[in-house]
Amino acid sequence: MNARTREHKRGAQDLDGRHFDAIVVGSGIGGLVGAGYLAADGRRVLVLEQHDVAGGNAHVFRRRRKYEFDVGTHYLGDCGEDGLLPAVLNGLGVRDRVSFRPMDNEGGFDRIITPTATVDVPAGWEAYRTRLKHALPAEADRIDRFIDLATAVAGASRAGLMGESMVELFRRSPGTMRWTRRTLGMALDHCELSPKGRTLLAAQAGNYGAMPDGIGFAEHVNIMDHYLRGAYYPEGGGQTLVAAFVEALESYGGELRTRSEVRRILIDDGRATGVELADGQQVFAPLVVSNADYRRTVLDLCGGEAAFPADLVARTRGATMRSAVVAVYVALDTELEGLPNANIWWHDSDDMEYAHASVQERYERDGVFDRVPQLAFSFASLKDSGSSAVCPPGHSNFQLMTGCPPGYEFWGVGAGPVDGEPYRRSPAYLARKREVTELILDAAEKVLGPIRDRITHVETATPLTNERYIRASGGTPYGMASWGSEGRRPDVRTDVEGLYVVGQNVRYGSGVGGVATGGMAVASQVLDRPLLAEVYAGTVLGDPSRLPERRADWDPLLVSRGRARHGAKGLARIG
């Protein structure tokens, strides 16, 4: 069977030469949200995804016909009746297709553990303030100063999202708005917090992959505000959220094509005109939205200086990335007793920043990596208790995550999968992977007790795994750390007419909420209407009566393949 025949069997052959109103490259949440709203407005939209299923970091994978692991959906914030994601879903008529299960918002949805403190983070800024002051009584006034500043910035950011102009916000609250251009580290310095205080306030750094000096204060505050509005988990896992957006897209006339890799974004005389696929086919549209990695979009898909100003290309080429992540997926043949329905953020030091720096310095100086100073735990079997997809009754399913030194050298290879590096069978790569897995399991047992003899499945994803599946520069799920200057990020509109970008690299921030907001921003600019404010007010685009009925055997993973590949082989099943 030749390559062209294989393409035909997987449903991509009939795309050659077709014209659409919009093409979306990549099917992460940001791309799907933008695509869904454009389709609901009546645009002919095509979403192209190189992987087998849609979702980007929000997709799941299945193992042994009994475990389903979420790659990046660990928890979602602001999912109450007036929340961000419910409003975005409602605007497409699919709000009732996703149920959000609350975590322990009163007792604490995040548990922070250091050698001398345990803080359970509850919903609500005031309750959070109280818990922090209880843990740090000698720093109560400093905590007050920090929380007062944080809530002011969070309020201004929320007003901006709802359409209030930045000019008016700066005019009304110049002191507050200046903090939107400073780092979290500067805010902690300003409030004169101790190393322990800094650690407790920045303990959930794994939500954005940066230490306090490397993250904007506004981004930290907005992510915390997102979760402090209540933490939730989508019933059935992250793929149910993806599938709802796919159903909206396809019901309103759009198309999702998986196993369809884009090699080039076509640009003619400064205007986007379509894309070229890896097999040479060309598809045309006057509007292209790239949900691909920003650096790869500018430098590879668009050809760098051939499409963009030289200074932007230089800034993009010199951009640094946020922390790379190692994730260990674990299944046990027993339940974990005594744990709250919460994430755990474990630190082996009361001084998180010093511990992180010392590990990095030792590796750079001596080439030794023998300590995991921080570890994040996400327990799917607690968040989605009773789900037949997560694990069998009496079993546990959870994920362990930590940062690692950047670069391919750490993993014993000279290049990544995007460059064709056959890393998965490299002895040096496999040896490093085993070493890091054991270090992570050692750290996990300090919190959970002995678990190794109850493991039924363990699997480790490295930054190279992330690069392979989502083509992320540096293998990070968090996007760029610097883009010309610390904290600066591109907007969704680019210098190329008709070309927009969404995803973890744009200015709306990390996480599902951030990328969904970016998707709304793209649709708002294209349609020239304030969509986020509209959907909060109850506006529904499209016709929900066109949505498909869900049968008893409905499978979000199958839906997320796109209609053209529903019958393709290789779909993993549970049971």
Structural domain harbouring 194: 117-229
In a domain, 111, yes or no: no
Backbone angles phi, psi at 397, to 5 degrees: -135, 120
Same domain, 431 and 490: no
Tell me the average pLDDT across 492-502: 98
| Statement: residue 263 has pLDDT above 50 | yes
Residue 570 falls within a domain, yes or no?
no
The answer to whether residue 50 is domain-embedded is yes
Whole-number pLDDT of residue 5: 38
Alpha carbon distances (Å) from 285 to 51, 139, 274, 279, 422:
22, 57, 5, 18, 35
What does each C-alpha distance from 62 to 73, 237, 397, 441, 575 come to in angstroms? 15, 12, 12, 21, 11
Same domain, 144 and 169: yes
For residue 243, the domain's CATH number is 3.50.50.60
Per-residue pLDDT tens over the stretch 155-206: 998 888 777 777 787 788 888 889 988 999 999 999 999 999 999 999 999 9
Coil, helix or strand at residue 136 = coil
- The answer for 269, left when phi > 0, alpha when psi is -120 to 50, beta otherwise, is left
The whole-number average pLDDT for the span 289-306 is 97
96 and 245 in a single domain? The answer is yes
Question: Is there a domain that residue 87 lies in?
Answer: yes
SS3 401: strand
Among 199, 229, 259, where does a domain finish?
229
**pLDDT class for 4, splitting at 50, 70, 90?**
very low
Residue 7 clears pLDDT 80, i.e. is over it? no
Average pLDDT score over residue span 397-411: 97
| Three-state SS annotation for 434-497 | HHHHHHHHHHHHHHHCCCHHHEEEEEEECHHHHHHHHCCHHHCCCCEEECCCECCCCCCECCCE
Q: Are residues 263 and 337 in the same domain?
A: no
Indicate the pLDDT class of residue 532, thresholds 50, 70 and 90: very high
CA distance 99 to 103: 13
Residue 248 within any structural domain of the chain:
yes
Average pLDDT, stretch 142-146?
98
CA 65 vs CA 69, 121, 139, 479: distances in Å: 12, 35, 51, 33
Is residue 382 assigned to a domain? yes
Name the phi and psi angles at 76, rounded to 5: -125, 140
Name the residue type at position 285.
Answer: A
What pLDDT was estimated at residue 109? 98
Q: How many domains does the chain have?
A: 3
Q: Are 156 and 63 part of one and the same domain?
A: no
Residues 109-130: pLDDT tens digits? Answer: 999 999 999 999 999 999 999 9
Give per-residue pLDDT as tens, 222-239: 999 999 999 999 999 999
User: Do 224 and 151 reside in the same domain of the chain?
Assistant: yes
Buried/exposed code over 275-302 (b: 16+ C-beta within 10 A; e: otherwise): bebebebebebebbbbbbbbbbbbbbbb
| pLDDT tens-place string over residues 202-220 | 999 999 999 999 999 999 9
What confidence tens digit (pLDDT) does each residue in 356-382 have? 999 999 999 999 999 999 999 999 999
- pLDDT of 389 over the 60 cut: yes
Mean predicted confidence (pLDDT) in 409-418: 95
CA angle 85, 86, 89 (to 5 degrees): 85
Question: Do both 460 and 522 map to the same domain?
Answer: no
- Residue 13: is its pLDDT beyond 80? no
Average confidence score pLDDT of the chain: 94
Question: Taking residues 258-275, what's their average pLDDT?
Answer: 97
- pLDDT tens by residue, 49-84: 999 999 999 999 999 999 999 999 999 999 999 999
- Please, where are the H alpha helices in 290-384? 294-296, 310-317, 352-366, 380-383
Claim to verify: residue 428 and residue 525 sit in the same structural domain? no
Cβ distance 570 to 266 under 8 Å? no
Q: Measure the CA–CA gap between 279 and 206, rounded to whole angstroms.
A: 38
Q: What is the pLDDT of residue 546?
A: 97
Query: 462 with 351, same domain?
Result: yes
The helix/strand/coil state of 97 is helix
Instruction: Retrieve residue 226's tokens.
Output: 């997102």
Q: Is residue 567 part of a domain?
A: no
From 440, 457, 474, give the residue that closes a domain: 474
Distance of alpha carbon 421 from alpha carbon 411, whole angstroms: 12
Q: Does residue 568 form part of some domain?
A: no
Cβ contacts of 401 within 8 Å, gap of 6 or more: 206, 325, 326, 327, 328, 375, 376, 378
Domain boundary among 474, 504, 536: 474
Residue 153 has pLDDT above 60, yes or no: yes
d(CA 573, CA 569): 11
Largest Cα–Cα separation, the chain: 72
CA 410, 414, 416, 422 dihedral sign is negative
- Res 488: pLDDT: 84
- Same domain for 490 and 462: no
Residue 264 has pLDDT above 90, yes or no: yes
pLDDT of residue 212: 97
Whether 260 and 286 map to the same domain: the answer is: yes
- DSSP label at 549? P
Evaluate the CA torsion angle 66, 69, 74, 80 in order and state its sign.
negative
Rounded to an integer, the average pLDDT of 6-16 is 56
What pLDDT does residue 237 have? 96
Residue type, 312: L
User: 84, 513 in Cβ contact below 8 A?
Assistant: yes
- Same-domain pairing of 433 and 385: yes
